[in-house]
Amino acid sequence: MESTAMAKIPQQSELLFDGAGERQRETFNAPPMLLVRGYLSQAQQQILWQEALMYPLQKPVVEVFGKPHPIPRTQVWFGDLGCDYLYSGMMVRALAWPKYCQRLRLMLQRDFQFQSNGVLVNRYADGRDCMGWHSDDEPELQPGSDIASVTIGAARDFDIRSRQTHEKIRLQLESGDLLLMRWPMQQQWQHALPKRLKLQEPRINFTFRQLIPYFHSQ
Ligand SMILES: O=C(O)CCC(=O)C(=O)O
Ligand SMILES: [Fe+2]
Q: Which residues on neighbouring strands pair with residue 201, listed in sequence order?
A: none
Would residue 195 count as lying in a domain?
A: yes
Mean pLDDT of the chain: 89
In a domain, 13, yes or no: no
Report if residue 126 sits inside a domain.
yes
* Residues above pLDDT 90, as percent of the chain: 78
Residue 113 lies in a domain: no
CA of 122 to the centre of ligand 1 (A): 7
For residue 13, pLDDT over 60 is answered with no
Number of domains in the chain: 1
Report which ligand 1 atom has the smallest distance to the Cα of 179: 3
Interval 70-93 mean pLDDT: 91
pLDDT at 217 over 90: no
**CATH number reported for the structural domain that contains residue 129 in this entry:** 2.60.120.590
Is 167 inside a domain boundary? Answer: yes
Once rounded to an integer, what is the mean pLDDT over residues 8-16?
41
Which range of residues forms the domain containing residue 143?
A: 30-53+122-213
Complex ipTM, two decimals? Answer: 0.99
pLDDT tens digits, residue range 137-186?
A: 999 999 999 999 999 999 999 999 999 999 999 999 999 999 999 999 99
Q: How far is the CA of 215 from the centre of ligand 1 (A)?
A: 22
Q: What pLDDT does 137 receive?
A: 94
Residue 133: inside a domain, yes or no? yes
129 within domain boundaries? yes
Residue nearest to atom 6 of ligand 1 (CA): 207
Res 29: pLDDT: 73
Burial class of residue 60 (count of CB atoms within 10 Å of its CB; 0-12, 13-18, 19+): middle
Please state, in angstroms and as integers, the Cα–Cα distance from residue 109 to each residue in 105, 113, 115, following that order: 6, 4, 6
Whole-number Å distance, alpha carbon 120 to ligand 2 midpoint, is 9
Residue 133 has pLDDT above 60, yes or no: yes
Mean pLDDT of 103-116: 97
For residue 203, give the ligand 1 atom closest to its CA.
1
**Is residue 151, in this structure, part of any structural domain at all?**
yes
Ion ligand 2: residues, CB < 5 A: 136
pLDDT at 193 over 70: yes
Question: To 10 degrees, what angle do helices 42-52 and 99-112 make?
Answer: 140
pLDDT, tens digit, 9 for 90 and up, residues 47-74? 999 999 999 999 999 888 899 999 999 9
Taking CB atoms and a 6 Å cutoff, what residues make up the pocket around ligand 1? Answer: 120, 122, 131, 136, 149, 158, 173, 191, 193, 205, 207
